[in-house]
Each structure stands twice: as structure tokens, then as C-alpha cells.
Chains A and B, each alone.
Chain A
């Protein structure tokens, strides 16, 4: 069974401004602030001091140093959220009122990117409207193919499913619809025969 090298695994690239976009909607979590600040600096070279069509949603403590950096970068519309679900709820409400010409930038851990992309899909945002840069933890969301439960924050090669308790092998096969990797029972052929537990998604 192919574990790595599967072509459905998303490929990320360092964020760059999409100058063809008219509105720029940016989401970040944790270390994702840095790539956004870099892109905003790029934009200001072209757009000048005011970035009126740029919005930033940031999962962070309101007192985090990055908040001041965003303010210093003259982002007119900056909102901070205590949690990813809170940010995503606001994100969805914004998309409902957004216009064609909007570009989405997402920076943060892959699990955060995946959840944002899942919502973007519902609004028919295509690949040429979304840019994402992975930074921070590589921890994965893992969908158990046997019981359909999703185990969050998986850092190890195998994981005990939060739903059925089976030990799952984490494969590189990725579903954008589920925003998760596939987990498949690791000892189905020889019960109890588990590979050593290793931290691989740090």
C-alpha cells in the first residue's frame, strides 16, 4: 500500500501577491502571520499606503505582537479570533457577501488551510483564486475509513482512532472535501502487529 508519494497530497508554495485580484482576503493562524505580512509589504509597493481592499482574519490573542505588525502595515480591516472555528464562521459570512475578483490567501498549519479550503469550495472558489502557504505544525486531520470519525492533531505515523480505537496508518492520500488524510487500519492483516510509533508530522 502506497503510504507516501501520493499525488492527492496538496502542494503548497510561498505566498505571492496575485496582482490580478481586486479584493484580497487573508486568513492566518499562528506562524501564518509572517507570510501574510510579507505579501502585504509586496502589495504596498504597488498599491501605495492604503490597502482598502485587503482584509485579514487572524487566529490569535488580540495582544500578540503580530497584531501590532498588521496595524503598522496599515491593513484597514484586521480582525482577530480566539479560535479557528470562530474565524471560519466569520470567513463564511464574508464569502457570502464577496464579489468575483476576490483572492483568498491562507497561511498556517495544513489542518487550518484544509478547513478554510473546504469552505472556499462551497463557494466555488477554484484553484486559480486561492493561494496557501503551509507553516507551523505538520499535524494532520485523519479520517478513519472504517468508522468515519476524524482524529485531529495527529503527529505520529500511526494513531489510535478517536471513534473506533483501531490503530490507523496515516497515508498521504488527501481529500479536500473532507479536509483530511486517510487513515486505514494498520494491523488488519496481522492483528497486534504494529510498527513502532514515531513522531513524523511535527
Chain B
């Protein structure tokens, strides 16, 4: 992404929809319409925090047909390094933010014969926009939505109104769980499954689908990792000939950007592989937090995704 192409938006609505989730409505500050997008897209929101810039990915949850506003849902992360706390504590109606053009890394398969959507908590957001495309179409679909309790069921009324019996809600508080094995063992040929939610749920759905014989090409998932905190370390950028300090609560990518070096990225959540960077020298170990590199590649320690991954090391040299 090129930051020069961000769009300035004004926050025109903030609603606390669950104890942990706020719903934001963003309108273009210059008036007019926002870019058209497809269901499953996310935007990067650029936040000017105290002394540092946060750039977090959030799925667009509004209708792709209503382009006077974008809607996002932000869950307050317990171990946030600031992005979600900034959105919850510092952003209010009238605040201005910069956003990047939408990118879709979680699109629906257009030749699927059926869609099964599985959401956990805040993972409902990309599906809200996809349902706008699915609703009224000829391809059957169903949505399984798991939440802690009724007070945590964000956007439930919107879903119930539209989806009727295609919607299945499960409350942890009442001991309800999705019967993944039954669900995935009984789907017709040509079905695709999509899952978005906590990492444990995603892993469980993938493993269950595989054990039911699903091939990988029919299993889709999205989880944006927030860059975890870690120990401070130093990195040397070989091509830029720059030494950069990475503090505990700032990601490697953010630190490199703060030093004035551009790294291409799309998701900033360890998914897309765009910021893939070659490791030239390493004395220590890499802490891989991404979902992109294979286990084998992670073990080789020859490359790193600086958006979410870090290092415990005496020396790290990157090809940047």
C-alpha cells in the first residue's frame, strides 16, 4: 500500500454494541461516495496516536451497495498495543481518520454450490458484508455464529431480521456449541466453508473439515493477528544501511516505517504475505506470528513477515 492514497474519513456514528465491541460509521470527509468494495474486504485504518501511528486492519461490515459510509466493528483487545484502545477511547463522532482503499483477501468462491459461514465473536464482521451478496441469490448458504452470551452477540438483530432460519446462534453461556463434526460431515459436494473468529476456533474448523475429508481448496479462513508485544531488539536494514530499534510495544514493520523505510503490505495481520522480507543474517531466533509462512519455512529462518513477527536476537539483518 502507498500511504499517499489514503482517504480521509470522518466518524459520523459510534455505538457500543457489546461490552467489548464498538461499531463505527465512517463518511468521506470530502463528501461524495467511498470506493465500491466486495464482501469480505478490509480496510487499514491509520490512527495518529500519542507519539506513534497505529495501522490496523478492520473488515468492512456494511452493505457494498451503501457507499455513503463504511462500517467497521472494533473489539477492545485485552493486550492491545494501542490500536483498538485508541479506537475505543480516543475516537468519537467528529474524529477524523485516514483509511486505505479496501482489499479483499477473504472473498466468496463464485462457483461454490453452497456456502457455510462460521463466525466466532468479532469474526462476524466480514460475513455481514458477504451476506449482502448472498442474500437473494440462488446459491444456498447458512451462517453459524458463536458468542459468549447474548450481551456479546454483536449485530444479532440485523442478522435475525435478514437471515431467518439460515442463521444459527450458539451461546457459550448456555453451553451451546457448534457441532462441527456433524455440520461438516453432511455438506453436499461443492460446498465451501469460511471461518473467522478466535484462532482456536479457526484451527478447530480447519482440522475438523480436513478429518471429514474436505480438501484445502474448499476451506477459507481469515484472522488478523494483532502484532504481539515482545522484547526490544535491534535490526539492521542492509540496503538502506540503517540500524533500527524495535521497542517492546511496536511491531517490526511499524519500527521500520518510523525509520522512513517503506515496506509493501496489504493486511498488516500476517495473512497476505505481501511484506515477506528476506533475512540475511541472524544471531538468535525469529518469533514467527504470521499465518503465511509454512512451518518448514518458519524453521528455516530465512524470511520473516515484519507486520506481526519479531525476533529474540543479538543481531538481525534484513534485505530492506
Chain A: minimal CB distance from B110 (Å): 10
Q: Which residues does chain A contribute within 8 Å of B104, judged by CB atoms?
A: none
A126 within 8 A of B: yes
Are A21 and B213 interface neighbours, CB within 8 A?
Answer: yes
How many cross-chain pairs have Cβ atoms below 8 Å apart between A and B? 54
Are B187 and A99 interface neighbours, CB within 8 A?
Answer: yes
Q: Which residues does chain B contribute within 8 Å of A21, judged by CB atoms?
A: 213
| Interface flags, B170-189, vs A, CB<8A=1, else 0 | 00000000000000111111
* One of A95, A102, A123, A126 near B213 (C-beta < 8 A): A102
Are B112 and A128 interface neighbours, CB within 8 A?
Answer: no
Chain A: minimal CB distance from B133 (Å): 18
Q: How many Å lie between the Cα of A125 and that of B217 in the bound state?
A: 9
A82 within 8 A of B: no
B210 within 8 A of A: yes
Nearest-neighbor residue (CB-CB) of A23 within chain B: B213
Q: Which residues does chain B contribute within 8 Å of A127, judged by CB atoms?
A: 217
Are A125 and B212 interface neighbours, CB within 8 A?
Answer: no
Interface members, chain B 204-223 (any A CB < 8 Å) = 209-210, 212-218
How many residues from B make CB contacts under 8 Å with A?
A: 21
Q: How many Å lie between the Cα of A100 and that of B214 in the bound state?
A: 6
Assign chain A's interface to a size class: 10 to 19
Q: Which residues does chain B contribute within 8 Å of A128, judged by CB atoms?
A: 215-217
Nearest-neighbor residue (CB-CB) of A129 within chain B: B215
Q: How many Å lie between the Cα of A73 and that of B189 in the bound state?
A: 27
Are A100 and B218 interface neighbours, CB within 8 A?
Answer: yes
A20 within 8 A of B: yes
Chain A: minimal CB distance from B113 (Å): 5
Are A20 and B210 interface neighbours, CB within 8 A?
Answer: yes
Enumerate chain A interface residues (CB-CB to B < 8 A): 20-23, 95, 98-103, 123-129
Enumerate chain B interface residues (CB-CB to A < 8 A): 109, 111-113, 184-191, 209-210, 212-218
23 CB-based A-B contacts, threshold 8 Å: A20-B213, A21-B213, A22-B185, A22-B212, A98-B188, A99-B185, A99-B186, A100-B184, A100-B190, A100-B209, A101-B185, A101-B212, A102-B189, A103-B213, A123-B190, A124-B109, A124-B112, A124-B189, A125-B189, A125-B190, A126-B217, A127-B217, A128-B216
